[in-house]
Amino acid sequence: MAQLPAITFKKTAPQKSGTVIVQAVDDKTLAEAGLALDEASDGQLTRAMKAAGFKAKSGAAIEVLAPQGTGLDRVIVAAVGDDGDLAAWLALGGKLAARIKHGQMVAIFPEVAPGGGSPDASSLAALAEGLLLRAYAFDKYKTRVDDDDTGRKKAARIAIMADNPAAARRAFSARRPVVDGTILARNLVNEPANTLGPEEFAAEAKALTALGAKVTVLTERQMAAKKMDALLAVGRGSERESRLAVIEWAGGKKKEPPVCFVGKGVVFDTGGVSLKPPAGMEDMKGDMGGAAAVIGLMHALAGRKAKVNAVGILGLVENMPDGRAQRPGDIVTSMSGQTIEVINTDAEGRLVLCDALWYAQKTFRPKCVIDLATLTGAIMVALGSENAGLFSNDDELAAQLLAASEATGEGVWRMPLGKAYDKMIDSKFADMKNTGGRWGGAVTAAQFLQRFIEDGVPWAHLDIAGTAMGSPKTAISQGWASGFGVRLLDRLVADNYEG
């Protein structure tokens, strides 16, 4: 795949060729590096700003090609905006990355923070984070790319000027694992199902042992011994065996209960016997977006040596319609002992999650549990692709997630739970059925999951069907898979659960 830019932080970098990016302080005024280039080019930069009607709002930029007297290929004039918070610097990085081509030498001069003074180390780290996230492209299976002699696209080399390069490097080193975790999640969601089955996904989890995590993978035989028959029923129609991957990161105090994250990992969802329509079914390779977010998060926590005990659990299955597949009307028994009437085999993700959630609580006694799943199309009807649906039995946990959402820009919107919805999944023949019908589908799915949460355990469910794949393009995400959830949950942990 195309290589990400190589980013360094420097005190000074006299730039005599390539591309230089300078900062506009306001609609007409350049910061110091820009003023020097403007003088060398006999006012070409300020004339370009005036001619373009430049406004120094967040992410605004204009290009001047081969300005006279500089020897440079391009000068880009950019602005961070009036507020200049970390989100603005992140977005600026993304918008600048869109203007940087592979193999280019680039120097960036972010000299002035809104309100005065120089940008701090965190701001420069956010700028670099935005550059990397926007530069990501999944071209692994493209045979025609602009190659260098190694057969890979050359990486751009970007130097960011900083008053204190060492502090900027330290700040970015703390953020780089989060970038890498987001990109890992994107890669997994983008990967085709013929190369990423449950076993291959579990192997990706195993790779986190290199970062110091403990990883255990349960086979179908081991899950059967634990009576995880709801999860196993989903994968019965596939030639590929199901797996449960458990990732443990022990960065907190010894014996302190962990924060637990559970991800739906349906590597491909045909709908089973309740077959989906053919149109758009290819997108169901992304039905493991929840598990991808959890593995990406665990990569981030382990990579930055987070001071927290955390567990990530991935329920990995494939939902296929062969002669052994479960049928509508079947009744399965979950690990909790509760029975489930299968009304629709395409409502399979909740069957995977219910056993994974029960396993998480019984095995780890977590201080809280959060699950992520591309669970329902109904959440997209309600919220589109701008926000994930947030359901929770705990107001404090919900508030923490909403705050992390505000800080990272990964949108969530709290949705209701209630006894009236719960009645919609009561069954004539079992303890519950796996779908409550057409109306309130995202809510009844959450009500189903809540039946597998023990009393007193704070729990949140994130329905990410609209945000994990095919989501709207942003300054830092231009591909099909967004990696949604990694940055959100890393911020949740950093703000609330690290010692």
**Maximum alpha-carbon separation in the chain:** 83
Closest by alpha carbon to 249, among 279, 205, 293? 205
- Report the C-alpha gap between 460 and 400 in whole angstroms: 11
275 secondary structure, DSSP code? P
Residue 301: alpha-carbon gap to chain centroid: 13
What pairs with residue 259 in β-bridges?
310, 368
Catalytic option among 154, 276, 307, 451: 276
Burial class (CB in 10 A: 0-12, 13-18, 19+), 51: exposed
Question: β-strand 61-65 against 214-218: which pairing, if any?
Answer: unpaired
Residue 362 annotated to the active site: no
Burial class (CB in 10 A: 0-12, 13-18, 19+), 117: exposed
Catalytic option among 186, 285, 350, 487: 350
Residues 126 and 172: beta-carbon distance below 8 Å? no
Residue 307 annotated to the active site: no
Angle at 181 between CA 284 and CA 58, to 5 degrees: 95
Sheet containing 61-65: order of strands: 6-10, 157-161, 105-109, 19-23, 74-78, 61-65
- Report the C-alpha gap between 119 and 112 in whole angstroms: 6
CB neighbours of residue 388 within 10 Å? 29
C-alpha distance from residue 202 to each of 18, 199, 291 (Å): 43, 5, 10
What pairs with residue 477 in β-bridges?
474
Tokens 């120097």 correspond to what residue?
Answer: 107
- Report the C-alpha gap between 131 and 303 in whole angstroms: 20
- Report the C-alpha gap between 332 and 345 in whole angstroms: 12
Closest by alpha carbon to 194, among 236, 246, 238? 238
- Report the C-alpha gap between 423 and 454 in whole angstroms: 19
By annotation, the residues acting in catalysis are 276, 350
